[in-house]
Amino acid sequence: MLIVLLGAPGVGKGTQAQILTQRYGLMRLATGDLLREEIAAGSELGRRVQAVMGRGELVSDAIIADLVRQRLDGAAAGRGVVFDGFPRTVAQAQLLEQLLHDLGRRRLDAVIQIDLPTEEIVRRISGRRSCTHCGALYHIEDHPPRSAGRCDRCGAQLVLREDDRPEVVAERLRVYHQHTALLLKFYQNGSHLVAVDGDGTVEEVSQRIQQALTAAT
């Protein structure tokens, strides 16, 4: 099964992607995580990516395509893939189609668009905190740590990620909406695109996605 999860930053794509990977035994491919791995490794690519992400801009399609190709070519991808936050532009969608073709894989089974009001997106993102050591994620309102500012798992400091700062969030949303209309039109023409309401509990949204997948496949 090949599934694309679309939606603005903060709508819960990562959480829902994890649920899908466990339910269907798929590999989760999240370009944001791949980029942050490069940053954490301190590579030359990571330094370039950090500067771009710090401004709330999109990383170039060429860089994204290379990262995705490496993961799709791995054995784990043979079970199926949940694409979390990729593609983000029409150009990236076309790149994905070409990558799947080059690797001898079938077309996408479903494209799920998770919708959420802007004010709720801002609340979710600005309240997120991540562990500097193990990467665990928290939210100051929805999922706070037991000790303020400290990770429950390893005790390391929790921080507001650079790309989660309010001013960067605003830019990320502007860039997302600038591209999303054309991307949705692209998928409406050739894939099983379904919009899902992302407002509600994790379980409620998961159930809506399950229903959408059943209808699409």
Q: Which of 88, 124, 129, 208 is catalytic?
A: 88
pLDDT over 60 (residue 75): no
For residue 149, what are its two tokens? 């500012």
What pLDDT score was predicted for residue 76? 60
- Mean pLDDT rounded to a whole number for the chain: 88
Q: For residue 88, what pLDDT is reported? A: 82
The CATH code of domain 2-119+164-216 reads: 3.40.50.300
- Catalytic pick among 28, 36, 129, 172: 172
Average pLDDT of span 61-84: 79
pLDDT at 102 > cutoff 60: yes
pLDDT above 90: residue 104: no
* Catalytic one of 105, 150, 161, 165: 161
Instruction: State percent of the chain over pLDDT 90.
Output: 39
| pLDDT score of 67 more than 90 | no
Catalytic site residue 106? Answer: no
pLDDT of 45: 81
Sorted by sequence, the CB contacts under 8 Å of residue 45 that are 6+ apart come out as 38, 63
At residue 213, does pLDDT exceed 60? yes
What pLDDT, on the 0 to 100 scale, is given for residue 77? 63
Task: Respond yes or no: is residue 185 known to be catalytic.
Answer: no
pLDDT at 182: 87
Q: What is the mean pLDDT of residues 52-62?
A: 79
Q: What is the pLDDT of residues 191-208, one digit of tens each?
A: 679 999 999 999 999 999
E strand residue ranges, the chain = 2-6, 27-30, 81-84, 110-115, 128-131, 137-139, 158-159, 193-197
**Mean pLDDT across 26-47:** 86
What does the domain layout of the chain look like in residue ranges?
A: 2-119+164-216
| pLDDT value of residue 99 | 87
> What mean pLDDT is predicted for residues 24-36?
87
pLDDT digits (tens, 9 = 90+) for 110-143: 999 999 998 899 888 999 999 999 989 999 999 9
CA–CA gap between residue 68 and residue 7 (Å, rounded): 19
Q: Check if 128 is active-site.
A: yes
Looking from the CA of 177 toward its CB, the CA atoms found within 13 Å total 10
Q: Which of 36, 128, 129, 208 is catalytic?
A: 128
Annotated catalytic residue within 13, 36, 124, 129:
13
Element (H, E) at 160: none
Q: Has this prediction a pTM greater than 0.75?
A: yes
For residue 90, the surrounding DSSP H or E stretch is helix 90-102
Quickly state the pLDDT bin for 73 (edges 50, 70, 90). confident
